[in-house]
């Protein structure tokens, strides 16, 4: 092939030779081929399915999907698009198999099997370049954390990586198409609330041509004093001018948010909405570039523009892979501005290194250092029994106002884990300017007097490595950090260290009224620690809403707070225990299908069973809100969506690995007798299947 074409891609499909008797010889020949030099193997790749035996031939599902995707008449845009996205589509059509692709990993996002059509127009004509002094940013991208939890830790860490990935892609000279088109910067911020008092919120400093808003949804989260997430944006746009294009990416309530922005703008802005939050940088950047190009100087009607967006490969890739095609008014929609189509006017300013500016979240703090032997123990995976304790400790640390001490007692490994997770949380929050871990004499040097006057969270880990310098450390804390620091104390369990903890507290002047002692229990099951988000799910509530009632609820934190209190009280007060060991309600979202989604924390099977009894026992919930201005209060009769709850209950039951105390005692009896065959007898719903799954997982 290379004698006739030096640059084309060569794809070797091995499905025909993957019968069991030929597998070894086929794999051997491929290995020899891939060991050739880079020049000989340039743009050569190998693909094969993971099926074996009779089905792995020319009629295999994999070979069929590959030939379909390679058909030039049916899939012209796919063949002229990104190679990696091509293989994703092949895998998607392969009926559950997991094909392997070797040799394509280094392909750039600009490479394709077929070249783009020469008649494709550039993003914008350079002849249109005129000054646009009113606009400071071409695009202002607000990426809010994608998961609402009872505390903000693991998802903030993931979110920071998302922001960094978007910056890298948009700023890339080869992959960043917007960089070649626009002459003003793109600003990316990861704010949890639209708070213009924060230094990273710069939208009030200048108008932006495009504003992108991404979030799980609009609604309520605990301890939020924000009067309404969109109100700050409304005020800024009213004073500085509305952007020409607004892109809303929300999993819940995307259409409702877009419609509110559209009408508040006086129908001046074109507002596009997608029922999906941003989670993969590459798919978001590709989608944004194509969508802005489609909207630029568009002469299409609203319906035609929506159909064009639905047909874009980049929009399809932005959404999760499902069997159902995307639908207009359900997954994607457009509110067309009453004026002319949005048109970007070039500026005389050129952007090089500063093309994408990123707001630093919190204080840009460094990670808590861990030694090699600690990495497996000090993680962000949460034990089920720690959910409530960790939430309360983080809440307590925030409430101390920069002065106080928290002493953790319990098994040293457990107290160290909780202290590490608390400190890791505050790396992504604004409470402290510095988070320090003092474990040995060398660490004490980081407690520089220049930090005096700044809020500092200090984790002191008392052990033999630190005993010699505790007196000097206490003196420094007393003299320079008495009213600006929160101290977190743990020890290694040795009697001498426990005494040293008491003496340290006395030396720094932390008296009983400012010292909080918290006991960390041994975990009931430490084998199944999870990411925090895996303990959360949604319950769906519906009602017979009056006209405009749900729209008012969506923008009123006061009414949402009333609703959240009622839902939380219902789920806890009606339970058999009368209370919950952890904060149950983690957020409320107002969705587009006239429903309210309550995000709840379910860390244990017992909590799930209690919630089932509450929901099935009283399917309705009466709530009184303030209503519209100059009207009487609204009475809302909420109903639990029983079908949605049953599906959630089944999924949650299969995913939870924590045994109830009774189940745990029975499992211990079984192991005490030496194991072997097991016959489980119990009433319906007591957890027989769950016990079997638990045993298989162990």
Domain boundary among 57, 86, 102: 102
Report pTM.
0.66
CATH of the domain at 449: 3.40.50.300
Whether residue 35 is contained in a domain is answered as yes
Please report how the helices 661-672 and 688-697 are oriented relative to each other, as an axis angle in degrees rounded to 10.
60
159-195 residue pLDDT tens:
677 787 888 888 877 666 777 777 678 888 765 555 5
**Predicted local confidence at residue 525, as pLDDT:** 44
Structure tokens at 386: 């720690």
The answer to whether the beta carbons of residues 621 and 674 sit under 8 Å apart is no
CATH of the domain at 268: 3.40.50
For the chain, what is the mean pLDDT?
A: 76
Per the structure, the complete domain to which residue 347 belongs is given by 130-358
**Predicted local confidence at residue 577, as pLDDT:** 46
- The whole-angstrom separation of Cα 604 and Cα 384 is 7
Whether residue 546 is contained in a domain is answered as yes
Structure tokens at 72: 């030039």
| 558 and 467 within one domain | no
| 568 and 547 within one domain | yes
CATH of the domain at 543: 3.30.70
Buried b (16+ CB within 10 A) or exposed e, 592-623: beebbbbbbbbbbbbbbbbbbebbeeeeebeb
580-601 residue pLDDT tens:
445 578 788 888 888 888 888 8
Whether residue 108 is contained in a domain is answered as no
Whether residue 369 is contained in a domain is answered as no
The answer to whether the beta carbons of residues 435 and 369 sit under 8 Å apart is no
In sequence order, the 6+-apart residues with CB closer than 8 A to the CB of 496 are 464, 467
| 304 and 211 within one domain | yes
100-113 residue pLDDT tens:
777 776 677 678 88
Whether residue 59 is contained in a domain is answered as yes
Dihedrals phi, psi of 635, to nearest 5 degrees: -100, 120
Whether residue 333 is contained in a domain is answered as yes
In sequence order, the 6+-apart residues with CB closer than 8 A to the CB of 7 are 43
* DSSP class of 446: G
Q: Number of structural domains, the chain?
A: 5
| 683 and 554 within one domain | no
Domain boundary among 358, 391, 419: 358
Whether residue 172 is contained in a domain is answered as yes
**Predicted local confidence at residue 122, as pLDDT:** 42
| 636 and 549 within one domain | yes
* DSSP class of 629: T
| 312 and 393 within one domain | no
Dihedrals phi, psi of 648, to nearest 5 degrees: -65, -40
| 539 and 512 within one domain | no
| 86 and 141 within one domain | no
| 635 and 675 within one domain | no
Whether residue 118 is contained in a domain is answered as no
**Predicted local confidence at residue 630, as pLDDT:** 41
| 89 and 69 within one domain | yes
* DSSP class of 530: B
The answer to whether the beta carbons of residues 356 and 185 sit under 8 Å apart is yes
Tell which residue, 517, 223, 524, has the closest CA to residue 386: 524
| 467 and 323 within one domain | no
Which residues in the chain land under pLDDT 50? Answer: 20, 54, 119-131, 147-152, 347-349, 362-364, 525-527, 576-581, 628-631
Domain boundary among 475, 496, 520: 520
**Predicted local confidence at residue 578, as pLDDT:** 42
Q: How far apart are the first and last CA of the chain?
A: 53
**Predicted local confidence at residue 622, as pLDDT:** 73
Tell which residue, 121, 118, 123, has the closest CA to residue 295: 123
| 171 and 309 within one domain | yes
For 266, left (φ over 0), alpha (ψ -120 to 50), or beta? left
DSSP symbols for 548-600: THHHHHHT-HHHHHHHHHHHHHHHHHTSSSSS-SS--EEEEEE-TTSEEEEEE
């Amino acid at each position: 092939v290379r004698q006739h074409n030096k640059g084309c891609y060569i794809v070797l499909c091995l499905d025909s030779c993957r019968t069991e008797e030929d597998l070894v010889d086929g794999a051997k020949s491929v290995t020899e081929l891939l060991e050739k030099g880079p020049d000989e193997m340039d743009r050569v790749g190998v693909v094969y399915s993971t099926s074996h035996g009779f089905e792995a031939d020319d009629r295999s599902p994999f070979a069929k999907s590959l030939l379909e995707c390679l058909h030039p008449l049916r899939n012209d845009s796919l063949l002229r698009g990104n190679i990696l996205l091509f293989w994703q589509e092949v895998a998607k059509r392969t009926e559950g198999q997991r094909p392997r692709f070797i040799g394509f990993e280094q392909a750039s996002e600009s490479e394709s099997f077929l070249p783009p059509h020469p008649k494709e127009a550039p993003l914008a004509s350079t002849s249109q370049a005129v000054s646009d002094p009113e606009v400071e940013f071409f695009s202002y991208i607000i990426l809010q954390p994608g998961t609402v939890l009872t505390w903000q830790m693991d998802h903030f860490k993931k979110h920071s990586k998302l922001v960094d990935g978007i910056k890298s892609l948009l700023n890339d000279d080869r992959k960043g198409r917007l960089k070649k088109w626009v002459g003003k910067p793109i600003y990316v911020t990861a704010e949890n609330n639209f708070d213009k008092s924060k230094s990273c919120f710069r939208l009030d400093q200048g108008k932006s041509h495009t504003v992108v808003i991404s979030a799980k949804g609009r609604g309520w989260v605990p301890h939020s004093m924000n009067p309404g997430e969109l109100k700050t944006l409304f005020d800024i746009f009213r004073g500085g001018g509305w952007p020409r294009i607004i892109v809303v990416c929300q999993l819940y309530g995307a259409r409702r948010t877009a419609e509110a922005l559209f009408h508040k703008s006086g129908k001046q802005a074109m507002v596009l909405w997608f029922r999906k939050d941003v989670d993969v940088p590459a798919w978001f950047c590709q989608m944004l570039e194509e969508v802005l190009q489609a909207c630029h100087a568009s002469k299409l009607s609203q319906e035609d523009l929506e159909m064009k967006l639905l047909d874009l490969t980049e929009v399809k890739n932005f959404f999760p892979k499902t069997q159902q095609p995307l639908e207009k008014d359900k997954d994607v929609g457009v509110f067309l501005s009453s004026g002319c189509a949005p048109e970007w006017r070039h500026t005389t300013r050129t952007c090089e290194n500063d093309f994408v500016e990123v707001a630093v979240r919190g204080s840009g703090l460094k990670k808590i250092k861990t030694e090699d032997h600690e990495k497996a123990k000090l993680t962000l995976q949460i034990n089920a029994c720690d959910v409530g304790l960790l939430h309360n400790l983080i809440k307590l640390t925030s409430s101390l106002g920069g002065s106080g001490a928290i002493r953790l007692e319990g098994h040293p490994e457990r107290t160290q884990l909780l202290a590490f997770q608390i400190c890791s949380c505050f790396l992504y929050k604004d409470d402290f300017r510095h988070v320090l871990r003092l474990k040995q004499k060398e660490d004490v040097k980081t407690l520089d007097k220049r930090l005096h006057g700044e809020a500092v969270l200090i984790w002191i880990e008392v052990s033999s490595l630190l005993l010699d310098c505790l007196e000097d450390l206490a003196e420094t804390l007393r003299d320079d950090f008495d009213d600006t620091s929160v101290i977190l104390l743990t020890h290694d369990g040795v009697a001498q260290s426990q005494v040293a903890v008491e003496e340290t507290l006395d030396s720094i002047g932390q008296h009983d009224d400012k010292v909080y002692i918290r006991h960390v229990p041994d975990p009931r099951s430490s084998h199944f620690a999870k990411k925090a988000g895996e303990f959360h799910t949604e319950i769906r509530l519906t009602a017979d809403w009056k006209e405009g009632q749900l729209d008012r609820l969506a923008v009123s934190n006061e009414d949402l707070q009333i609703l959240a209190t009622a839902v939380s009280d219902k789920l806890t007060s009606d339970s058999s225990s009368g209370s919950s060991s952890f904060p149950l309600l983690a957020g409320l979202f107002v969705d587009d299908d006239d429903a309210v989604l309550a995000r709840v924390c379910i860390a244990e099977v017992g909590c799930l069973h209690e919630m089932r009894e509450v929901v099935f026992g009283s399917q309705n919930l009466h709530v009184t809100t303030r209503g519209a201005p100059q009207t009487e209060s609204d009475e809302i009769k909420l109903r639990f969506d029983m079908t949605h709850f049953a599906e959630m209950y089944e999924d949650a039951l299969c995913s939870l690995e924590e045994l109830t105390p009774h189940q745990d005692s029975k499992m211990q009896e079984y192991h005490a007798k030496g194991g072997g065959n097991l016959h489980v007898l119990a009433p319906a719903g007591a957890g027989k299947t769950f016990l079997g799954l638990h045993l298989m997982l162990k």
